[in-house]
Structure 1
Amino acid sequence: MLTINRLNVTLDTLTLAKDMSFSLLPGKVNVIIGPNGTGKSTLLKTLFGDIQAKSGDIRFQDQSLTSKKLSSWRKLFGYMPQDIRLDIELSVLEVVLLGQLDALSLRLDDSLIEQALSALDKIGLLHLANRSVNKLSGGQCQMILFAQALMRNPKILMLDEPVSALDLHFQHVLLDHLDEQTKQQGWVSLMVLHDLNLAAQYADNLLVLKNGQLVKSGNPKDILSPELIKDVYGVQAEISHDSHGLPFVRTIRKNPARTGMQVELSSSQPAKGIADAV
Structure 2
Amino acid sequence: MLTANQINIQIGSLSLAKNIDFELKPGQVTAILGPNGTGKSTLLKALFGDIKLESGEFSYGDNSLTHNSLSQWRSQFGYMPQDINLDVNLTAIEVVLLGQLDALSLRVGNETLHKALGILDQIGLSHLANKDVSKLSGGQRQMILFAQALMREPKIMMLDEPVSALDLHYQHVLLEHLVTQTREREYVTIMVLHDLNLAAQYADNLLVLKNGHLVASGHPKAILTSDLVQSIYDVQAQVIEDEHGVPFIRTTRAY
User: How do 1:16-27 residues align onto structure 2 when only pairs under 5 Å count?
Assistant: 16-27=16-27
CA–CA distance in structure 2, aligned partners of residues 110 and 52 of structure 1 = 40
CA–CA distance in structure 2, aligned partners of residues 250 and 173 of structure 1 = 23
- Give how far 1:107 is off: 1.1
SS at match of 2:201: helix
Q: Per-residue displacement from partner, 1:15-73 (whole Å, max 9, x unpaired)?
A: 11000011000000000000000000000000000001010011000000000000010
User: How do 1:132-171 residues align onto structure 2 when only pairs under 5 Å count?
Assistant: 132-171=132-171
- Give how far 1:196 is off: 0.4
User: How do 1:160-199 residues align onto structure 2 when only pairs under 5 Å count?
Assistant: 160-199=160-199
CA–CA distance in structure 2, aligned partners of residues 209 and 240 of structure 1 = 22
SS at match of 1:169: helix
Structure with higher Rg: it is 1
Structure 1 ranges of 4+ moved more than 6 A: none
CA–CA distance in structure 2, aligned partners of residues 172 and 55 of structure 1 = 37
Residue 240 of structure 2 is matched in structure 1 by: 240
Residue 95 of structure 1 is matched in structure 2 by: 95
CA–CA distance in structure 1, aligned partners of residues 29 and 14 of structure 2 = 29
- Give how far 1:193 is off: 0.4
CA–CA distance in structure 2, aligned partners of residues 19 and 66 of structure 1 = 18
SS at match of 1:149: helix
User: Superposition RMSD on alpha carbons, in Å?
Assistant: 0.6
- Give how far 1:220 is off: 0.4
| Structure 1: runs of 5 or more not aligned | 257-278
- The percent identity for this pair of structures is 64
CA–CA distance in structure 2, aligned partners of residues 57 and 175 of structure 1 = 29
CA–CA distance in structure 1, aligned partners of residues 39 and 110 of structure 2 = 41
Residue 3 of structure 2 is matched in structure 1 by: 3
**Counterpart residue identity of residue 136, structure 1:** L
SS at match of 2:84: coil
- Give how far 1:88 is off: 0.8
Residue 131 of structure 1 is matched in structure 2 by: 131
CA–CA distance in structure 2, aligned partners of residues 46 and 111 of structure 1 = 35
CA–CA distance in structure 2, aligned partners of residues 125 and 228 of structure 1 = 38
CA–CA distance in structure 2, aligned partners of residues 63 and 36 of structure 1 = 31
User: How do 1:232-271 residues align onto structure 2 when only pairs under 5 Å count?
Assistant: 232-254=232-254, 256=255
- TM value normalised by structure 2: 0.99
- Give how far 1:241 is off: 1.0
- Give how far 1:85 is off: 2.8
CA–CA distance in structure 2, aligned partners of residues 154 and 83 of structure 1 = 20
Residue 264 of structure 1 is matched in structure 2 by: none
| Structure 2: runs of 5 or more not aligned | none
CA–CA distance in structure 2, aligned partners of residues 219 and 120 of structure 1 = 31
Residue 220 of structure 1 is matched in structure 2 by: 220
- In 2, are the aligned partners of 1:85 and 1:138 still within 8 Å (CA)? no
**Counterpart residue identity of residue 80, structure 2:** M
Q: Per-residue displacement from partner, 1:96-120 (whole Å, max 9, x unpaired)?
A: 0000000111111211111100110
CA–CA distance in structure 1, aligned partners of residues 186 and 85 of structure 2 = 30
- Give how far 1:152 is off: 0.6
- Give how far 1:226 is off: 0.6
